[in-house]
Chains A and B, each alone.
Chain A
Amino acid sequence: MIAKGKAIKYGDNVDTDVIIPARYLNSSDPSELAAHCMEDIDADFVNKVEKGDIIVAAKNFGCGSSREHAPIAIKASGVSCVIAKTFARIFYRNAINIGLPILECPELFEETEEGDRLEVDFDTGTINNITRKKVFKTQPFPPFMQEIIANDGLVGYIKKTT
């Protein structure tokens, strides 16, 4: 599987309250959530995001609340992948469980500017910054998580294995 798009960059500790503010959590409709994604730190996100784009962030992306609405909002806004130095653990679980690909790559952040063209190969864990002609390798998922991803998330995995 390949993801391809432009980089949209954020810094450290992007929390789930700014990914999708709680005032919109009286709905769980993905397109409604996507309409407010990143609103409190980047009001322009919904205008600039295009299908396939890749969020590149620094450390502890997705910290804070357990709201699955956060990865749902990101996925529904067309983002194909999030790559960060590190992820907060509940966000990490939720992204895997709903089938939003995420990768940890400590080096990418410093080597990527907003708008760079990126290509990610999930089978090999390779990230290519096409604009800057640089290639990065990441750790592939452990087999257990690969199975969850291969079954399109945890629900598919449970259905298959029970």
Chain B
Amino acid sequence: MGMTMTQKILASHAGLEEVVAGQLIMADVDMVLGNDITTPVAIKEFRKLGVGNVFDKSKVSIVPDHFCPNKDIKSAEQVKFIREFAREMEIENFFEVGQMGIEHALLPEKGLVTAGNVVIGADSHTCTYGALGAFSTGVGSTDMACGMATGKAWFKVPEAMKFELVGKPGRWVSGKDVILHIIGMIGVDGALYKSMEFTGEGLANLSMDDRFAMANMAIEAGGKNGIFDVDEKTLAYINEHSTKEFKVFKADPDAEYSETYIIELDKIKPTVSFPHLPDNTRAEGEFGDVTIDQVVIGSCTNGRIEDMRMAAEILKGRKVHSNVRCIIFPATQKIWKQAMNEGLFDIFIEAGAAISTPTCGPCLGGHMGILAKGERAVATTNRNFVGRMGHPESEVYLSGPYVAAASAVTGKISSPAELQEV
């Protein structure tokens, strides 16, 4: 029987000719990832295993990005704890503030993950690397600990859902709008335990940054992973960023899918997820009159250079509304420098937006933009759960960079089409 992309990658890493959905396997992993929240717990579990060293010091990445630069004493203690572990284990990919970026923007940029890899990360958005044609999935700290010790992880081989993309996205539509549209369609548990496999001729009309944003949010549909066919754009990205050996896996023509959806990209409108679940989506024209207090542009979903450019395209020559704090978070140092060199920071500052060093910060209600009771934010982040960005009675509306920047200008949730010419 034919296998999907995900199944082929898992079979190759489990030393098996073939795997079928539902099969439990033990697979070799190419990268084990953790951050400053999940790694401390993993280290404690790792110590219980009684092994002296990590399985491969080049295949562990530790990125203190959530509460960093350290937001308080307890966070500083957590980072100190993982820093000492990274030094003791001589972990090659420990990224200190100054080199640090948001993990899921940083690892592809540094070339540490590539096509055909199996990656586990103690962070749910580890599924981002599916954009590169890798199998990557979020796990917990105990899985991270055992992965660091053994270089292996257990998996139940997932069934797959196929998303066949056709056409070309419209003027103000990016990958974020496409994935929000899909989550709205199938629900926050629509892909539970399954892989979401993206294919089709429409793929050619989505940039790598679009694809990273889409794979990133597979978890918000409950998916085990999201994965994209490897094409010329993927290969160009890999060749530019990585020297690691890679392998391209293609689904068999007779691979089985539990569902197949045709996604017409040209029919998707700018989309916003209203509180308090990512599947509570509304398209342009249905936003109503929702005034806002804050806009956050950044995160592992939308903190890449194209996201910065989209925000700048809207903010150029305009002003952030006087009732709104607009905070922009380029996801890595490289993106930061590039945005600065392209003159985007001039646009942001002249518009009245603030620019932060890379951090996950406000996305999970950590720091750098916490909401008070009753406040509302439009954010290019990935979750709008109760209390996600601060007070349990605050609200988060998820969007792509165009809508977020347009909303910063008008002071209410807005599509760029509503803005006056400047």
Q: Is A124 an interface residue (CB 8 A)?
A: no
A66-B122 contact, Cβ under 8 Å, with A94-B142, A154-B143: yes
Q: Is A67 an interface residue (CB 8 A)?
A: yes
Bound Cα distance from A114 to B141, whole angstroms: 32
Size of B's binding interface in residues, CB under 8 A: 50
- Interchain CB contact under 8 A, A66 and B45: no
**Neighbouring A residues of B364 by C-beta, 8 Å:** 17, 22, 65
A22-B365 contact, Cβ under 8 Å, with A66-B123, A94-B140, A153-B142: yes
Q: Which residue of B lies closest to A39 (CB)?
A: B392
- Interchain CB contact under 8 A, A18 and B385: yes
Q: Is A158 an interface residue (CB 8 A)?
A: yes
- Interchain CB contact under 8 A, B143 and A97: yes
- Interchain CB contact under 8 A, A67 and B37: yes
Question: Which among A2-10, A48-56, A83-91, A130-138 touches the partner chain?
Answer: A83-91
Summed over the interface, the residue pairs from A and B with CB atoms below 8 Å come to a total of 132
Bound Cα distance from A153 to B192, whole angstroms: 23
> How distant is B24 from chain A, measured CB to nearest CB, in Å?
5
**Neighbouring B residues of A153 by C-beta, 8 Å:** 142
> How distant is A123 from chain B, measured CB to nearest CB, in Å?
21
**Neighbouring B residues of A72 by C-beta, 8 Å:** 41
> How distant is B379 from chain A, measured CB to nearest CB, in Å?
14
**Neighbouring B residues of A25 by C-beta, 8 Å:** 37, 66-67
Q: Which residue of A lies closest to B392 (CB)?
A: A40
> How distant is B349 from chain A, measured CB to nearest CB, in Å?
29
**Neighbouring B residues of A162 by C-beta, 8 Å:** 150
Bound Cα distance from A71 to B149, whole angstroms: 22
A28-B50 contact, Cβ under 8 Å, with A18-B386, A86-B189: no
0/1 interface trace, chain B 232-266, chain A, CB 8 Å (1 if under): 00000000000000000000000000000000000
Q: Is B270 an interface residue (CB 8 A)?
A: no
Bound Cα distance from A65 to B48, whole angstroms: 24
**Neighbouring A residues of B289 by C-beta, 8 Å:** none
Q: Which residue of B lies closest to A21 (CB)?
A: B387
Which of A15, A27, A94 contacts B74 (CB under 8 A)? Answer: A27
**Neighbouring A residues of B121 by C-beta, 8 Å:** 66
Q: Is A101 an interface residue (CB 8 A)?
A: no
Interface centre among A18, A26, A67, A144, by most chain B C-beta atoms within 10 angstroms, is A26
0/1 interface trace, chain B 13-56, chain A, CB 8 Å (1 if under): 00000000000100000000000011011001100111000000
Which of A63, A71, A145 contacts B222 (CB under 8 A)? Answer: A63
A17-B386 contact, Cβ under 8 Å, with A23-B365, A64-B124, A90-B140: yes
Bound Cα distance from A32 to B154, whole angstroms: 30
Sorted nearest first, the 7 A-B pairs with minimum C-beta distance are A94-B140, A26-B74, A68-B140, A97-B142, A60-B189, A66-B124, A22-B364
